[in-house]
Amino acid sequence: MLPKILAALCLMALCVVVHAIGVTLALRRMGREPRGARGFGRLTWLLVMLASWMVLFHLAEITVWAWFFSWKQAMPDLQTAIYFSATTYTTTGYGDLVLPAEWRLVGSVEALTGILMCGWSTGFCFAAVNRIFDAQTPVTREPL
């Protein structure tokens, strides 16, 4: 059991690295965007691109887990493993596919990792939206 838990923690760490790369790249891209007045269309496009970028990195993380399950033959093939990992990572958990008993705790670690990574993405998107709108809001000071 311990080797499987260690493998799950390594996969979790890999997901953190992948997510950190994604957030860093998104920050760099947003840093190149001019601050200040932008039109609604430009802001909307920026937010759509940010959300798409985050989803792509989540899909990469899901694929990491799926590849592992397929490699260890905990799922019959990669396509099935990707579907299983997507439902587990997102905590949808339809229950139509389950891991063999000896791998179930690893699946639970995947679900916890997905919760953490989705929370990180949510926090990042919230901060990005605040940054965009703070740059557009004129600063007014109350008289003393």
Q: What percent of the chain has pLDDT over 70?
A: 88
> Which pTM was predicted?
0.84
pLDDT value at residue 128:
85
Helix, strand, or coil here: 75?
Answer: coil
Q: Which residues, 6 or more positions from 57, have their beta carbon under 8 angstroms from its beta carbon? A: 18, 19, 21, 22, 121
Task: Quote the DSSP letter at residue 103.
Answer: G
Amino acid 142: pLDDT: 67
Q: Domains in the chain, please, with CATH?
A: 2-135 (1.10.287)
> Are 9 and 109 spatial neighbours (Cβ–Cβ below 8 Å)?
yes
Residue 25 has pLDDT above 50, yes or no: yes
Mean predicted lDDT score pLDDT of the chain: 89
- Per-residue model confidence as pLDDT tens digits over 65-114: 999 999 999 999 999 999 999 999 999 989 899 999 999 999 999 999 99
pLDDT tens digit string along 32-47?
Answer: 665 554 677 878 888 8
With 0-12 / 13-18 / 19 or more C-beta atoms within 10 angstroms meaning exposed / middle / buried, residue 39 is exposed
Res 130: pLDDT? 85
